[in-house]
Structure 1
Amino acid sequence: MKNLTGAYCVQKCLTGVLFIIELASKCAVSLHSCPSTCICASDLLSCVSQNLQQLPAPIPAMAATLDLSHNALYQLQNHWLAGLPRIQILRLSHNHISRIAPQAFHNATYLMHLDLSSNRLHVIEKQVFHELISLQELLLYNNQIVRVDGRAFIHLGSLRKLYLSWNLLMDFPFSSIQELHHPHLRILDLSSNKLPTIPIAEVTELPLYVKNGLFLHDNPFMCDCTLYAMFRHWEKYGLNSVQDFREEHTCLAVGQPQSSIRFFKHYNIFENCSLVHGLMAFPITTIKAVIGEPLLISCETSLQDEHTSYMWTLPSHELIRFPGNINQTMAMYSNGSLEIKEVRQQDSGIYVCKANNKHLMRNETREVNVTVHYKKSEGESFNTGLTTLLGCAVSLVLVLMYLYLTPCHCCCRKKVPTPSPPHECSAQSSILSATPPATDGPNRKISGSRHVVFLEPVKETRNGKAKLATSEDFTDAKNPKIQQMKSDSESITSVFSDSPIMP
Structure 2
Amino acid sequence: MSWGCFILLLPSGATTSSKSVTCHKICLCASNIVSCSKMNLTGIPMTFPRYTAVLDLSFNQISKLKAEWTPVKLSMLHSLLLSHNGLTFLSSEAFLYVTRLRYLDLSSNGLKILEEFIFEPLEHLEVLLLYNNHISQIDRTAFSSLNSLQKLYLSQNQIQRFPLELVKERNRLEKLTLLDLSTNRLKLLPIQELQVLPAWIKNGLYFHNNPLPCSCELYSMLASWHRQELSSATDFRDDHTCLLPGTQKEKALTLELNKVHLNCSAVTILDEEAYLEQFIRLGCDTRQRYMLKSWVLPGNVQLSSGNQSSRVLSDGSLQVGPITLEDSGIYTCYAVGESFNETLYVTVLVHNATQAGGQEGMKTAYTTLVGCLASAMMVLIYLYLTPCRCICCPVQGLDKRAPGDSLHSSILSPPFNRHVAYLDPKGLLEQNGRLTKSLAHSAPLPQLSIGCKHNSSTGITDILLSFLYC
TM-score range (shorter-chain normalised) is 0.5 to 0.7
**SS across alignment from 1:178:** coil
State the alpha-carbon separation in 2 of the partners of residues 41 and 67 from structure 1.
12
Matched, 1:34 2:32: no
Q: CA contact under 8 A between 2:257 and 2:263: conserved in structure 1?
A: no
Cα deviation, residue 224, structure 1:
1.2
The C-alpha deviation readout for 1:208-267, integer Å capped at 9, x for no partner, is 111101111111110111111101111111111111111111111136675101122353
- Aligned residue in 2 for 1:192: 183
Q: 1:197 to 1:166 in 2, by over 3 A?
A: same
**SS across alignment from 2:192:** helix
- Aligned residue in 1 for 2:231: 240
The C-alpha deviation readout for 1:338-388, integer Å capped at 9, x for no partner, is xxxxxxxxxx889xxxxxxxxxxxxxxxxxx9xxxxxxxxxxxxxxxxxxx
TM-score (norm 1): 0.50
The C-alpha deviation readout for 1:318-356, integer Å capped at 9, x for no partner, is xxxxxxxxxxxxxxxxxxxxxxxxxxxxxx889xxxxxx
- Aligned residue in 2 for 1:224: 215
TM-score (norm 2): 0.53
Q: 1:233 to 1:280 in 2, by over 3 A?
A: farther
State the alpha-carbon separation in 1 of the partners of residues 208 and 106 from structure 2.
22
Q: How does 1:398-409 map to 2 (within 5 A)?
A: none
Cα deviation, residue 105, structure 1:
0.7
Matched, 1:250 2:241: yes
Matched, 1:123 2:123: no
Cα deviation, residue 82, structure 1:
4.4
AA aligned opposite 2:48:
I
- Aligned residue in 2 for 1:48: 37
Cα deviation, residue 172, structure 1:
2.1
Task: Please provide the CA RMSD for this pair.
Answer: 3.7
Matched, 1:207 2:195: no
- Aligned residue in 1 for 2:63: 74
State the alpha-carbon separation in 1 of the partners of residues 282 and 185 from structure 2.
32
- Aligned residue in 2 for 1:155: 145
Cα deviation, residue 270, structure 1:
5.9
- Aligned residue in 2 for 1:174: 164
Q: 1:280 to 1:147 in 2, by over 3 A?
A: farther
- Aligned residue in 1 for 2:252: 261
**SS across alignment from 1:230:** helix
State the alpha-carbon separation in 2 of the partners of residues 160 and 276 from structure 1.
31
Q: 1:265 to 1:107 in 2, by over 3 A?
A: same
Q: How does 1:380-459 map to 2 (within 5 A)?
A: none
**SS across alignment from 1:66:** strand
Cα deviation, residue 89, structure 1:
0.5
State the alpha-carbon separation in 2 of the partners of residues 132 and 156 from structure 1.
6
State the alpha-carbon separation in 2 of the partners of residues 136 and 51 from structure 1.
29
- Aligned residue in 2 for 1:432: none
State the alpha-carbon separation in 1 of the partners of residues 254 and 160 from structure 2.
20
Q: CA contact under 8 A between 2:40 and 2:60: conserved in structure 1?
A: yes
Q: CA contact under 8 A between 1:149 and 1:173: conserved in structure 2?
A: no
Match of 1:100 among 66, 72, 90: 90
Aligned residues: 282
Q: 1:88 to 1:237 in 2, by over 3 A?
A: same
Match of 2:128 among 133, 138, 160: 138
Q: CA contact under 8 A between 2:179 and 2:204: conserved in structure 1?
A: yes
State the alpha-carbon separation in 1 of the partners of residues 17 and 81 from structure 2.
25
What is the percent sequence identity of the aligned residues?
A: 37
Matched, 1:285 2:283: yes
Cα deviation, residue 207, structure 1:
2.3
The C-alpha deviation readout for 1:175-200, integer Å capped at 9, x for no partner, is 23213743332211111111111111
Mean Cα displacement is larger for which, 106-115 or 134-143? 106-115
AA aligned opposite 1:285:
G
State the alpha-carbon separation in 2 of the partners of residues 255 and 76 from structure 1.
45
Q: How does 1:248-397 map to 2 (within 5 A)?
A: 248-254=239-245, 259-269=250-260, 272-273=263-264, 285-286=283-284, 288=295
The C-alpha deviation readout for 1:2-33, integer Å capped at 9, x for no partner, is xxxxxxxxxxxxxxxxxxxxxxx997534975
- Aligned residue in 1 for 2:289: none
**SS across alignment from 1:55:** coil
State the alpha-carbon separation in 2 of the partners of residues 280 and 252 from structure 1.
32
Q: 1:130 to 1:256 in 2, by over 3 A?
A: farther
Q: Which runs of 5+ in 1 are unaligned?
A: 1-24, 299-311, 316-347, 351-368, 370-503
Q: 1:27 to 1:63 in 2, by over 3 A?
A: closer
Cα deviation, residue 102, structure 1:
1.0
State the alpha-carbon separation in 2 of the partners of residues 158 and 192 from structure 1.
25
- Aligned residue in 2 for 1:304: none
The C-alpha deviation readout for 1:398-422, integer Å capped at 9, x for no partner, is xxxxxxxxxxxxxxxxxxxxxxxxx
Cα deviation, residue 59, structure 1:
1.7
AA aligned opposite 1:161:
K
Q: Which runs of 5+ in 2 are unaligned?
A: 1-12, 273-280, 285-293, 296-302, 317-334, 338-343, 345-470
State the alpha-carbon separation in 1 of the partners of residues 244 and 199 from structure 2.
29
State the alpha-carbon separation in 1 of the partners of residues 311 and 70 from structure 2.
48
The C-alpha deviation readout for 1:405-455, integer Å capped at 9, x for no partner, is xxxxxxxxxxxxxxxxxxxxxxxxxxxxxxxxxxxxxxxxxxxxxxxxxxx
Q: 1:27 to 1:41 in 2, by over 3 A?
A: closer
State the alpha-carbon separation in 1 of the partners of residues 71 and 167 from structure 2.
30
State the alpha-carbon separation in 1 of the partners of residues 186 and 216 from structure 2.
17
